[in-house]
Amino acid sequence: MGSLRIGGLKSNRTYFILHANYPKLIIYFMWLIKEVVKSAADVSKIVLSHNMGLEPHVVWFKADYDNPAARAILANSITLTPGTVTIDIYDSGVFSVHALNRDFSEGLLTGKMQNRIAKLYGETIDYKVIDVVTDYDYREKEVVELTSKRFKRRRKNRDA
């Protein structure tokens, strides 16, 4: 039988994967649905207008949850909201998110969504915005510390 327990990311604490404040969880999902509908309307306006109003950019922020479920909820909530996509979550608690324009990333820059999830899991987080880079400046700007992930390529044995 599988376990429903996961280890903390910053501590030795063990979490039950379904442990959350359920009344707060319901309120959070009602708020999230409202945000999804509002963002969907905003994306529709951008798509249907002749003046697209796009200012694509990438936002890096730190939200160092101990509970891995909190990180997953945040990443999925961001991706569910039209106009934003979670690109990556680093081990240090740094998230990178692509947004269509500043309006879509406003809640991420203020920490509104991050703090709602922290309250949901009874955590206090060290939240801060690290950087905001427009897609046009992205190649020129060095973000070495954030993008220094190394991936080893596995080579297939072509002789077999």
Least confident of 54-63, 78-87, 89-98, 151-160: 151-160
Name the token pair of 111.
């920490």
Q: What is the pLDDT of residue 66?
A: 83
Judge whether residue 47 has pLDDT over 80.
yes
- Per-chain mean pLDDT for the chain: 79
CA distances, 119 to each of 10, 60, 107 (Å): 17, 21, 16
- Tell me the percentage of the chain whose pLDDT exceeds 70: 71
How much is the pTM? 0.74
- Whole domain around residue 63: which residue ranges? 5-134
- 83 belongs to a structural domain: yes
Q: What integer is the mean pLDDT of 24-43?
A: 92
| Higher pLDDT pick, 159 / 56 | 56
Where does the pLDDT of residue 33 fall: very low under 50, low under 70, confident under 90, or very high at 90 and above? Answer: very high
| 160 located within any domain | no
Q: Is residue 15 part of a domain?
A: yes
Work out how many domains the chain is built from and give that number: 1
pLDDT score for 40: 94
158 within some domain: no
Q: Please name the helix (run of DSSP H) or strand (run of DSSP E) that holds residue 108, with its range, or none.
A: helix 102-110
Task: Assess if residue 154 is contained within a domain.
Answer: no
Residue 1's pLDDT is 41
Is 145 a domain residue? no
Higher pLDDT, 125 or 13: 125
Report yes or no on 141 lying in a domain: no
CA distances from 46 to 39, 79, 80, 86, 136 (A): 11, 18, 18, 20, 19
User: Is 9 contained in some domain?
Assistant: yes
